Amino acid sequence: NAGVTQTPKFRILKIGQSMTLQCTQDMNHNYMYWYRQDPGMGLKLIYYSVGAGITDKGEVPNGYNVSRSTTEDFPLRLELAAPSQTSVYFCASSGDSYSNQPQHFGDGTRLSIL
């Protein structure tokens, strides 16, 4: 009963390094999302995908890239890590629609950039 799985759980990066946050879901959901959440703040949508091969920008896409080669996987890439990208990153998925189906979240990746 895995649902949405994110790896790694924690990571510390140096400024300028790159990394990929992994997200996979086993619910056969078409829709997937990446959010960031800064301390004491709400969720901000980074990117989303409505199916394999299709991605779209959310509210705060700058500094990030995504790809969706399979239904299951939706990795988020940071190319040049900056201190402003220190945050908790959540991946989520939903079934048949992104506008009227609830989203299911992974348990997050805590990223610090020093």
Binding residues (CB under 8 A) for other proteins: these are: 31, 33, 41-43, 45, 48, 58, 88, 90, 98-108
* Choice between 71 and 109, CB closer to other proteins: 109
* Choice between 45 and 52, CB closer to other proteins: 45
DSSP code of residue 59 = S
CA 91 to chain centre: 4
* Choice between 19 and 45, CB closer to other proteins: 45
What are the CA-CA distances from residue 45 to residues 15, 37, 64 (Å)? 23, 9, 12
- Min CB(9)–other proteins separation in Å: 11
- Strand partners for 93: 32, 104
- Min CB(5)–other proteins separation in Å: 12
- Min CB(41)–other proteins separation in Å: 7
Give the CA diameter of the chain. Answer: 39
